[in-house]
Amino acid sequence: MYFHVQRLINDIEQDEPDPAAANALQEGLGGQFGEMRTMMQYLFQSINFRGPTAKPYRDLIQGIGTEEISHVELIGTTISRLLDGSPRYQGKKTDPVDAPGAGGATPLSIALDTGNIHHYLVGAQGALPVDAVGNPWSGAYVYNSGNLVLDLLYNLMLESTGRLQKCRMYEMTQNKTARSTIAYLIVRDQAHENAYAKALETLGVNWSATLPIPKTNAESFPEVARLLDLGLQSKQYSFDLTAESEAGRIFQGLSPSQDGTDLDASEQAPEGAPAPISRERYEEFAPGADKELIALIAATAAMEMADIDATFGRLP
């Protein structure tokens, strides 16, 4: 059984809207190696798990799976904010891009030429359950062979691929809203890599210097480096309300990433960050355009606007 708190698992930095970055992030949400996939894969592996003696492995997968639901919430909210209006709406134009790889564009920004018209036409400037080329998420992505070694091996490869793609994404944009979430997910993917690598270690595999994958570069991203300094790549939360998880029997000892840290499964959950609701956008033909409807809603709901102004700025 699942519960919710009205907080985001990590804070999202404020910056300009950026539809192209939003579209790149869709890969991390609805792509074959994105958060919806990890979430669903681990949920199915937990549900179908057989073998009571192997409970620590089930609990490890279950705990990471629960975290992935919060990641879906985080990256979805990030995309929604990146789409909330556009530079054009706000009367701003980004500076021209000067030189490849130099101060201007990030190295892979060439990939960002396109967006997804559905963000404006089918959705209302919000996240969609699709990847960065618009393919809907598919249940065919979910892998659950029923063989423990294979499932763990797949999960390790899945987290590493997710991390690889997020490193590429990071290089595609300089938008701070996008990068704050990308950096957080790069580090959490490494924590999950560590978890599955460690589980395979208990079953006999020795990774020597192979991990993490990709091995380099991410720590050269300042937002990532800050989180690595906090040791976030070596923590795994249980998200378990009644402390029955036995994942800590596996997630302990030296990190398979060989960064000198010890794995730590002692915390239930991170502190999280506030999760305010965005302002309506009238041009989307949402109900807000209808004054009578707003009055009806106002009659049943009353809420302080102060913290919204604090987060999104005051409406002119």
Binding segment (CB under 8 A) for its own copies, from list 164-172, 185-193, 227-235, 259-267 = 164-172
- Chain mean position to CA 270: 14
Match 């992030």 to its residue by tokens: 25
Minimum CB separation of residue 257 from its own copies in Å reads 13
Asked if 315 touches its own copies (CB under 8 A), the answer is no
Q: How far apart are CA 56 and CA 54, in angstroms?
A: 6
In the region spanning residues 117 to 136, those forming contacts with its own copies, defined by CB under 8 A, are: 117-136
- Residue 71's closest CA among 157, 24, 27, 10? 10
Asked if 167 touches its own copies (CB under 8 A), the answer is yes
Q: How far apart are CA 81 and CA 119, in angstroms?
A: 12
Residue 107 · residue 101 · CB < 8 Å: yes
Q: Which of 27, 35, 189, 193 binds its own copies (CB under 8 A)?
A: 27
Asked if 225 touches its own copies (CB under 8 A), the answer is no
Minimum CB separation of residue 221 from its own copies in Å reads 7
Q: Which of 216, 229, 314, 315 binds its own copies (CB under 8 A)?
A: 216
Asked if 314 touches its own copies (CB under 8 A), the answer is no
Asked if 96 touches its own copies (CB under 8 A), the answer is no
The count of residues interacting with its own copies (CB under 8 A) is 169
Q: Which of 42, 49, 196, 251 binds its own copies (CB under 8 A)?
A: 49
Question: Phi/psi zone of residue 84: left (φ > 0), alpha (ψ -120 to 50 degrees), beta?
Answer: beta
Q: How far apart are CA 88 and CA 297, in angstroms?
A: 31
In the region spanning residues 180 to 199, those forming contacts with its own copies, defined by CB under 8 A, are: none
Binding flags for its own copies, 51-80, as an x/- string (CB under 8 A): xxxxxxxx---xx--x--xx-xx--xx--x
Which residues contact residue 305 at a Cβ distance below 8 angstroms, ignoring those fewer than 6 apart? none
Q: Is 172 helix (H, G, I), strand (E, B) or coil?
A: helix
Asked if 234 touches its own copies (CB under 8 A), the answer is no
Asked if 40 touches its own copies (CB under 8 A), the answer is yes
Residue 43 · residue 151 · CB < 8 Å: no
In the region spanning residues 276 to 305, those forming contacts with its own copies, defined by CB under 8 A, are: 276-281, 283-290, 292-294, 296-298, 300-303, 305
Which residues contact residue 65 at a Cβ distance below 8 angstroms, ignoring those fewer than 6 apart? 38, 39, 41, 42, 43, 45, 46
